[in-house]
């Protein structure tokens, strides 16, 4: 922890003394590279792995038979092929949505109740750790989100339309900030998400540990906060809008290497 | 041999049918599915689901974005005209406020989220996308640099008749950017009720007052 604070101070000094944005960005990149040696996301991964194999919930069962798309219990490589269509639910589901299904069917949890729980609280915190663990089991694999099923193709088209939907008090769409290369909000670099942003960027980086607020964020939480800043109403947790956006970004990122769980500013 | 050929032909025929029918959903059908997906939002605090209802300007620009093609000239013009008509000019005829207050409004990005307590006293979000003064190095690049905005446009006295057109344009652009560029990414700060007349006045001063750091 002390090491992190020192590094933070270092990054702040660099930011102040270097007048040019370039040197600030370089300072942040260096700071991130150093933190890469000890990404706190690993703690959440370890917690998730333990949750995966611990009997829990009203049915006192583990998640070891959970089918994330590659068959019951297969975790390795599942993340980079999500969201995908699941015949048992008849829905296209992303990682968090699918984990909710498994927590309900295998362990007997009430998925609606979990979906309505605040982020980082109760079973939402456990779900976050599970998502972090599952994502970590696809580290350095390349995205290959399927488009074979009609509903998967439908969700891509819906996601595309949501991405470009301008509305709310500020007329913002996702595309307002994520449609052009090399743009920033203040000093924050913005990934292009309407095409393939490359290895470890955008969809290929979340879940991620955020140094700024010391929190582990899943993709669902990432999208939730985007919509807050977009001045939209709140998307339902694991609702179709966020899943469709996941399909859109995931398919666009085909071939990009996942670095999730990543570390972020 | 014949049998094989026939079954191959049948297979490809069936394949063709399977491939064609489900893949050919119309754009309107995808729009319908999108409307369904939009039901997975809920009101929270001041951010009500009504915010998802697009006006014509947003609907047409979003459609063009999805198609990956710019709007045709006539549609663009009609959007600009409708937004221009909707601009509220200063009720007392005064376009210029205090650039110092304007700079604070430009720096603030607060307001209008589901965490915001009220719909008033919002920030302008200007620095999030624009360079504005030389002093502030933490600026975004989604919009063009506004440094020397007035100076570059030859405004030496914003109260002079010579500056009138530029003063009005600056007000209009902040109030409703889409009046001048149909699908601009810039929020319609006045039109959408994010900023008040008084706040817009201060921002106009920030950009055009010769004493403002913007024009140094």
- Per domain, the residue ranges of chain A are 2-38, 41-136, 150-264
pLDDT digits (tens, 9 = 90+) for A4-15: 443 444 344 334
State which fold the B99-215 domain adopts: Cytochrome Bc1 Complex; Chain D, domain 2 (1.10.760)
Interface contact flag, B65 A173, Cβ < 8 Å: yes
Q: For residues A186 and B139, is the Cβ–Cβ distance under 8 A? A: yes
pLDDT digits (tens, 9 = 90+) for A113-161: 999 999 999 999 999 999 999 999 999 999 999 999 999 999 999 999 9
Interface predicted TM-score of the whole assembly (ipTM), two decimals: 0.90
Interface contact flag, A169 B112, Cβ < 8 Å: yes
Question: How many Å apart are CA A209 and CA A228, to the nearest integer?
Answer: 19
Q: Is residue B71 pLDDT above 80, yes or no?
A: yes
Taking each helix axis from N to C end, the angle separating A122-136 and A41-53, rounded to the nearest 10 degrees, works out to 100
How far does A240 lie from chain B, in Å, by closest CA?
Answer: 5
- Per domain, the residue ranges of chain B are 99-215
Would residue A226 show up in a list of annotated catalytic residues for this protein?
A: yes
Supply the pLDDT for residue A58: 98
For residue B34, the chain A residues in CB contact (below 8 A) are 157-158, 161-162, 165, 244
| pLDDT averaged over every residue in chain A | 91
pLDDT digits (tens, 9 = 90+) for B107-143: 999 999 999 999 999 999 999 999 999 999 999 999 9
Closest CB to B113: pick one of A184, A187, A229. A229
Question: How many Å apart are CA A192 and CA A186, to the nearest integer?
Answer: 16
Share of chain A above pLDDT 90, in %: 84
The two tokens of residue B120 are 């008033």
- Of the candidates A122, A46, A102, A95, the one whose C-alpha atom is nearest the C-alpha of residue A246 is A95
Q: For residues B61 and B70, is the Cβ–Cβ distance under 8 A? A: no
The two tokens of residue A161 are 């339309």
Q: Is residue A222 pLDDT above 60, yes or no?
A: yes
pLDDT digits (tens, 9 = 90+) for B17-64: 444 455 579 999 999 999 999 999 999 999 999 999 999 999 999 999
pLDDT confidence of B7, banded at 50, 70, 90?
A: very low
DSSP structural state of residue B72? P
pLDDT digits (tens, 9 = 90+) for B157-199: 999 999 999 999 999 999 999 999 999 999 999 999 999 999 9
Topology agreement, domain A41-136 and domain A150-264: yes
Supply the pLDDT for residue A10: 39
Backbone angles phi, psi at B27, to 5 degrees: -60, -35
Question: How many Å apart are CA B185 and CA A231, to the nearest integer?
Answer: 15
Interface contact flag, B113 A233, Cβ < 8 Å: no
User: What residues have CB less than 8 Å from B155, skipping those under 6 apart?
Assistant: B163, B166, B167, B208, B210, B215
Would an 8 Å CB–CB cutoff place A229 in contact with chain B? yes
CATH code for the domain defined by A150-264? 1.10.760.10
State which fold the A41-136 domain adopts: Cytochrome Bc1 Complex; Chain D, domain 2 (1.10.760)
CB count within 10 Å of CB B26 equals 8
Interface contact flag, A168 B51, Cβ < 8 Å: yes
User: What residues have CB less than 8 Å from A177, skipping those under 6 apart?
Assistant: A183, A185, A190, B142
Peptide bond into B159 cis (omega under 30): no
Interface test with B, best of A24, A152, A156, A161 (most B CBs within 10 A): A161
């Amino acid at each position: 922890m002390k090491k992190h604070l020192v590094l933070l101070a270092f990054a702040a000094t660099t930011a102040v003394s270097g007048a040019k944005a370039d040197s600030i960005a370089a300072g942040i990149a260096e700071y991130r590279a150093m933190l890469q040696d000890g990404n706190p996301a690993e703690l959440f991964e370890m917690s998730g792995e333990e949750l995966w194999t611990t009997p829990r919930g009203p049915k006192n069962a583990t998640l070891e038979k959970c089918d994330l798309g590659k068959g019951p219990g297969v975790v390795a490589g599942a993340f980079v092929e999500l969201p995908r269509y699941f015949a048992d639910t008849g829905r296209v589901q992303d990682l968090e949505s699918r984990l909710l299904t498994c927590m309900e069917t295998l362990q007997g949890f009430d998925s609606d109740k979990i979906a309505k729980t605040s982020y980082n609280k109760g079973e939402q915190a456990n779900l976050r750790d599970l998502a972090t663990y599952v994502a970590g089991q696809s580290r350095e694999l390349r995205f290959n989100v399927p488009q074979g099923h009609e509903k998967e193709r439908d969700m891509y088209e819906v996601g595309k339309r949501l991405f470009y939907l301008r509305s709310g008090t500020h007329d913002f769409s996702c595309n307002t900030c994520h449609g052009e290369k090399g743009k920033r909000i203040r000093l924050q670099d913005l990934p292009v998400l309407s095409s393939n942003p490359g290895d470890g960027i955008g969809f290929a980086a979340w879940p991620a540990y955020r140094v700024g607020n010391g929190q582990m964020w899943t993709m669902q939480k990432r999208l939730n906060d985007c919509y807050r800043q977009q001045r939209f109403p709140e998307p339902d947790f694991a609702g179709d809008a966020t899943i469709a956006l996941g399909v859109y970004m995931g398919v666009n990122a085909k071939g990009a290497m996942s670095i999730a769980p990543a570390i972020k500013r | 041999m014949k049998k094989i050929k026939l079954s191959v032909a049948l297979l490809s025929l069936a394949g063709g049918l399977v491939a064609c029918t489900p893949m050919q959903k119309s754009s309107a059908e995808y729009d319908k599915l999108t409307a369904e997906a939009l039901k997975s939002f809920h009101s929270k605090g001041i951010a009500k689901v009504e915010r998802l209802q697009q006006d014509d300007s947003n609907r047409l620009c979003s459609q063009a974005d999805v198609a990956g093609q710019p709007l045709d000239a006539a549609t663009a013009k009609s959007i600009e005209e409708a937004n221009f008509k909707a601009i509220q000019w200063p009720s007392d005829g005064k376009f210029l406020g205090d650039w110092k207050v304007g700079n604070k409004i430009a720096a603030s990005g607060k307001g209008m989220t589901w965490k915001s307590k009220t719909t008033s006293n919002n920030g302008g979000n200007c620095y999030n996308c624009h360079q504005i003064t030389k002093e502030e190095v933490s600026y975004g690049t989604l919009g063009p640099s506004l440094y020397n905005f007035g100076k570059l446009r030859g405004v030496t006295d914003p109260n002079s008749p010579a500056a009138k057109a530029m003063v009005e344009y600056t007000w209009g652009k902040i109030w409703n950017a889409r009046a001048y560029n149909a699908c601009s990414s810039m929020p319609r700060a006045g039109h959408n009720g994010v900023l008040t007349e008084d706040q817009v006045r201060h921002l106009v001063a920030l950009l055009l007052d010769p004493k403002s750091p913007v024009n140094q």
